[in-house]
Amino acid sequence: MADKLNFSLVSPARELFSGEVDHVVAPGSDGEFGVLANHAPFMSTLKNGVVRVLDGETVSMRLFVRGGFADVTPNGLTILAEEAVDLATIDADALEKDIDDLRHKLMAEGADSPHHLALEEQISYLKSVQAEL
């Protein structure tokens, strides 16, 4: 039996996953990278994108992360994400409603609103999640 990789993904809200897997592919700031058991240690920043967890050749989980850091040590891989969600738990209709609500709020507040940039960033993030469904 091949070695397993200890993997955990945490966000400020909660730990989304912790366990042993065969392989993880993450969206590094300089490009996607994969990590297997006994990988050489390194750290990387993450861009918004999908972390794919594989058992054998099968993708067993897809987690969307909003930035963060990946830390590979002799003990395994830890991803500290600014925000993360398991794509299997997303309700596409509710997500569309959230995007529409934010667009209406953005229009109502106008371009001079102090929340304008934050609202645009949240809409962009949710549209990125939506694109991965």
pLDDT in tens, 4-39: 999 999 999 999 999 999 999 999 999 999 999 999
Q: Is the dihedral of CA 3, 32, 57, 89 positive or negative?
A: positive
* Average pLDDT, integer, range 50-64: 96
Q: How confident is the model at residue 2 (pLDDT cuts 50, 70, 90)?
A: low
**CA separation (Å) from 96 to 48, 83, 121, 130?**
19, 19, 16, 8
Which pLDDT score, from 0 to 100, does residue 125 have? 93
- Per DSSP, 112 falls in state T
Q: What are phi and psi of 93, to 5 degrees?
A: -65, -40
Taking only the tens place, the pLDDT of each residue in 67-121 is: 999 999 999 999 999 999 999 999 999 999 999 999 999 999 988 889 999 999 9
Q: For domain 5-87, is the CATH number 2.60.15.10?
A: yes
* Average pLDDT, integer, range 56-64: 96
Q: Take residue 127 and report the two structure tokens written for it.
A: 């549209």
Which pLDDT score, from 0 to 100, does residue 107 have? 93
Neighbours of 69 (CB within 10 A): 14
pTM greater than the 0.75 cutoff: yes
Which pLDDT score, from 0 to 100, does residue 63 have? 98
